[in-house]
Amino acid sequence: MLTDFVKFHYTDKNYELPTDKTDFIISVNNETGETDDKKEGEYFGMQIIKYASGRIMVKGSVHKFFNRTDFNGNDFDMRNFSTALQDLETEIRVKPQCCRLENIEIGVNIQLPFDPNKLLQNLLFHRSVEFNKTISGSFYYQSAKRDYIIKIYNKTAQYEKKLKKIAENQNFMKPHEKKAFSLFKKTVNEHLQPNTLRFEIKFLKMNLLNDLGIMYLPDIAKPEMMIPLKNLLLKEFQEVCFYDYTMDQTNMKNSEINKLKDYRNPNYWVNLNKKDKYYHKKKFQEMTLKYSQNVKAKVSELIKQKIEKLSEKSLDFSTDNCNENEKQKFRLFDRSDIGSKSLNDIL
């Protein structure tokens, strides 16, 4: 499945906050005692905000909501997504057809035959914008545009680091916190695969997706959307430029070796004008195809295969014909295993 984080405006003006499911907090100014009448609550990672104007916003990871824990390192297909939408409606009375999307992340997890850090540490730029390492000490990189952000990172390393960090505070946890951590650790150990790379597009504006016909949350699950979304992801990955670690300099000319030193340096590209950048990018691609194992093509094929695999799993799935017992076997664990409050306290 392609979808992870979503942010949507809930358009049903008659919506009543699910106070029976979670507590809602009203912020108070410590100096004046005044409030802005904004109410905020959270249910299994989905944050619900009601403003004084009556406007309602909901945001969070649909993938993590489906898993019922802070984990999105496993596969998430259309039947999982459809089940998550049903759960939103059943449990907190959010009707999917009223969820007008404002931001969304579209991406895929793939398993590489090599350490993802070999790719990540050699990232150069996406289109004309360099990659930045925005989280210190982690293998997470992004290239920010006006309307969207390209994100690429080591999902395996992300969760290994998170497990280690939480475990360090295990002696100070309360009983319900230890239970939450135990379930989280079990989930990661059972479902996180080695060498998992995440590639995604975070849309800050919805213009492009609106043009494809994606305006409301259920639009993502339409079968006819899979091919355009697959093509969109593949197209954007093709614009990712990185130094291929399999480059073999044995048969290179000295001039090519010297030029390669420039090409693999991110700072070299920053100082080029548009015309020169286009010229040298083409030369760099020619050298990569000639002297490397073409890692980019292999990763692109893995992205394509994973999306097609997840799409095929969903072809025979109908939410109308799937009962609760059938849906439950797709979840990592049942919501009765963990409370929504303890989930946020720990993870």
d(CA 4, CA 72): 8
296 - beta bridge partners?
Answer: none
| Whole-number pLDDT of residue 180 | 86
* Among 105, 10, 24, 8, CA closest to 341: 24
% of residues, the chain, pLDDT over 90:
73
pTM for this model (two decimals): 0.88
Considering only 20-24, 134-138, 198-202, 263-267, which range has the smallest mean pLDDT?
A: 134-138
Residue 1 has pLDDT above 60, yes or no: no
pLDDT band of residue 319 (cuts 50, 70, 90) is very low
| Whole-number pLDDT of residue 108 | 95
In a domain, 340, yes or no: no
| Whole-number pLDDT of residue 15 | 96
d(CA 346, CA 134): 23
Residue 329 has pLDDT above 70, yes or no: no
Considering only 105-114, 179-188, 334-343, which range has the smallest mean pLDDT?
A: 334-343
Residue 321 has pLDDT above 60, yes or no: no
| Whole-number pLDDT of residue 320 | 44
Tell me the pLDDT tens digit for each residue of 298-312. Answer: 999 999 999 988 887
pLDDT band of residue 133 (cuts 50, 70, 90) is confident
In a domain, 115, yes or no: yes
d(CA 322, CA 316): 11
Average pLDDT taken over every residue of the chain: 89
% of residues, the chain, pLDDT over 70:
88
* Among 144, 139, 145, CA closest to 122: 139
In a domain, 303, yes or no: yes
Residue with tokens 């489906």: 66
Residue 317 has pLDDT above 50, yes or no: no
pLDDT band of residue 314 (cuts 50, 70, 90) is low
| Whole-number pLDDT of residue 333 | 54
* Chain-centroid distance, C-alpha 142: 12
Sequence letter at residue 303: I
Check residue 14 and report its DSSP letter: T
In a domain, 254, yes or no: no
Residue 116 has pLDDT above 70, yes or no: yes
Interstrand relation of 148-154 and 140-144 (parallel, antiparallel or unpaired): antiparallel
| Whole-number pLDDT of residue 244 | 98
Class of residue 224 by CB neighbours under 10 A (exposed 0-12, middle 13-18, buried 19+)? exposed
Class of residue 177 by CB neighbours under 10 A (exposed 0-12, middle 13-18, buried 19+)? middle
Check residue 193 and report its DSSP letter: P
Q: Which residue has the higher pLDDT, 293 or 37?
A: 293
In a domain, 342, yes or no: no
Token pair belonging to 22 = 């979670």
Number of domains in the chain: 1
* Chain-centroid distance, C-alpha 327: 23
In a domain, 189, yes or no: yes
When pLDDT is averaged across residues 30-36 and rounded to a whole number, the result is 74
* Among 134, 72, 83, CA closest to 347: 72
57 - beta bridge partners?
Answer: 9, 49
56 to 47, 200, 315: CA distances (angstroms): 10, 26, 33
* Among 259, 250, 254, 303, CA closest to 285: 259
* Among 71, 240, 232, 242, CA closest to 143: 240
pLDDT band of residue 342 (cuts 50, 70, 90) is very low
Residue 159 has pLDDT above 90, yes or no: yes
Rounded to 5°, the CA angle 162-344-175 comes to: 85
Whether 131 contacts 119, CB under 8 Å: no
* b/e 96-117 (16+ beta carbons within 10 angstroms → b): bebbebeebbbbbbbebeebbb
| Whole-number pLDDT of residue 134 | 73
Residue 102 has pLDDT above 80, yes or no: yes
What is residue 321's three-state secondary structure?
A: helix
| Whole-number pLDDT of residue 139 | 87
d(CA 201, CA 237): 10
pLDDT band of residue 331 (cuts 50, 70, 90) is low
CB atoms within 10 A of CB 189: 10
Residue 344 has pLDDT above 80, yes or no: no
d(CA 236, CA 5): 19
| Whole-number pLDDT of residue 242 | 97
| Whole-number pLDDT of residue 325 | 52
Residue 82, domain extent: 3-246+293-332
In a domain, 338, yes or no: no
Tell me the pLDDT tens digit for each residue of 211-264. Answer: 999 999 999 989 899 899 999 999 999 999 999 999 999 999 999 999 999 999
In a domain, 159, yes or no: yes
d(CA 231, CA 211): 14
